[in-house]
Amino acid sequence: MKDLTQGSEAKLIFNFALPMLIGNVFQQLYNTVDSIIVGNTIGKEALAAVGASFPIIFLLVALIMGVTMGATILIAQFFGARQMDEVKKTIDTTYLFVFFAALGATAIGLATSSPILRLLKTPTEIFPLAKEYLDIIFAGIIVMFGYNTISAVLRGLGDSLTPLYFLIIATLVNIIFDLVFIKVFHWGVAGAAWATVLAQGISFLLGLVYLHKTHELFTFNPRKMTFNRGIFLAGLKIGLPSGIQQTLVATGMIALSRIVNSFGTNAVAAYTAAGRLDSFASMPAMNLSVALSSFVGQNLGANKPERVKKGYRATLGMATLISLAITLTVILFGPQLVRIFNQDPAVITIGSEYLVIVGSFYFVFSTMFVTNGVLRGAGDTLIPMFFTVCSLWLIRVPLAAFLASRIGTNGIWWAIPIAWVVGAILSVSYYRSGRWKRKVVVKPNPAS
């Protein structure tokens, strides 16, 4: 646990975000290593199949994991107010909800994989591979939910380091499984999927065992766990808008994928490779935003609003500097980075164009995400959801379809940063209005 209500704002937020960033880099390596090995060992068709599956997986996970954001914020505010009994109730309630939600997600995913792939205009030559990969991931989604839930609980308590060691081990295991299953056993995309599921299962089990043995707040005993309806509804009220927002983001990704799929296997493979790189590029801003949310939650719970403003400015400065460095890297070395995934010249050309267009606007993405981190930390999650709806569904998707019909795949890529600009303007304007300060859920103790 870490108290974020005292000390240097910038140092606290950076030190809190760094383990999460490292952890997410390793977690992202699950998909990235799959793509690299698949793209170079099996071919661009297999790379495209893995990429075509990803937006569907993200959609299924998005609503559930978005809702757990409510638990993270509640835990952060309860912990900041030193209401430890409420922290324990929130943890128990979150565990029980996610377990049953995971079972439902698996059933839905397995039942709808084929119709969804057809709806997305998945190219015929990669359809069987995409379905095979997707079904295996769905079958193991409970361990993905499990690990992410533990991480959400720990973030609320100010602990972003504990899960990292297990995640590093699991990522290394994933790489080994990928090489064995694909290169030795020749299981193809199924081998990549099983490697991911088994590695995530290891990270979940290691985290669960460790937390069960080290702290009473994390005791995992299903017979003693209780579901608190009031806390669940409070968390749902906070988290559901984030869950809906994540779902809208996921459906937006699916809509974009449908447009990309219409351009054939080369475009899908390039989009997959560039998208993997894009995920790494966006991580610093996203993790700084999550750290800022916990920081804001604790400081508002402790009745220290002046630290929130300082924390926001410090986080925005760090995120901007990092994003500019990443932009320079992807512009200068775009072709070499895409070549890591596949050697096909057409794939490299299309992927490089994506990185130049989208990568030039990473600083805008950072501004949008960091600002939304303040709003979520205060419990004001409805407004960021509305901004997401506007920038994604009123700008990005329609504009991508319009520009794609006129200038090809580059039109899809240009729609992404244009939507970011709109989202950033809306978020910053709302932050400056100060209305988000009225949304704090947990009132500070009089003694604080």
Q: What is the DSSP string of 295-322?
A: HHHHHHHTT-HHHHHHHHHHHHHHHHHH
Strands annotated E in 314-429:
none
Q: What's the per-residue H, E or C state across 163-188?
A: HHHHHHHHHHHHHHHHHHHHHHCCCC
- Burial class of residue 270, CB neighbours in 10 A (0-12, 13-18, 19+): buried
Identity (one letter) of the amino acid at 186?
H
pLDDT score of 448: 45
Q: What is the pTM of this model?
A: 0.79
Tokens, residue 443: 């009132």
Q: Are 288 and 353 in contact (CB under 8 A)?
A: no
Residue 335's H or E segment, with its range, is helix 305-339
pLDDT at 23: 77
Judge whether 362 and 281 are in contact, CB under 8 Å.
Answer: yes
| Contacts for 143 with CB less than 8 Å, ≥ 6 apart | 197, 200, 201, 203, 204, 205
Residue 256, both tokens? 């974009």
Query: CA separation (Å) from 368 to 101, 312, 339, 384?
Result: 30, 12, 30, 10
Mean pLDDT per 10-residue section of the chain, whose length is 448 residues: 82 89 79 86 92 84 74 84 85 88 89 92 93 93 85 75 76 90 92 90 82 68 85 85 76 90 94 92 92 88 87 96 96 96 95 97 96 88 82 93 96 96 95 81 54
Contact 152, 376 (CB under 8 A): no
How many residues comprise the chain?
A: 448
- Provide the 10 A C-beta neighbour count for residue 443: 12
Q: Measured between alpha carbons, how far is 247 from 224 in angstroms, rounded to an integer?
A: 32
Residue 438 token pair: 């009225």
Question: Distance (Å, rounded) from C-alpha 399 to C-alpha 411?
Answer: 8
Q: What pLDDT shows up at residue 442?
A: 60
Q: Are 189 and 272 in contact (CB under 8 A)?
A: no
- Choose among 55, 136, 141: nearest CA to 98: 141
Q: Which of 306, 249, 291 is nearest to 377 (CA)?
A: 291
- The confidence score (pLDDT) of residue 446 equals 52
Q: How far from chain centre, in Å, is Cα 122?
A: 24
**Tokens read off for 180:** 């064995």
Assign 160 to helix, strand or coil: coil
Identify the residue whose tokens are 């970011």: 420
Buried b / exposed e along 271-282 (16+ C-beta atoms within 10 A): bbbbbbbbbbbb
Angle of CA points 349, 331, 358, to nearest 5°:
80
Q: 336 near 398, Cβ under 8 Å?
A: no
- Residue 415's pLDDT is 96
Cβ-proximal residues to 183 (8 Å cutoff; 6+ apart), any chain: 37, 41
d(CA 74, CA 81): 11
Q: What is the pLDDT of residue 379?
A: 81
What the block records as the tokens of 208 is: 């669960």
Assign 390 to helix, strand or coil.
Answer: helix
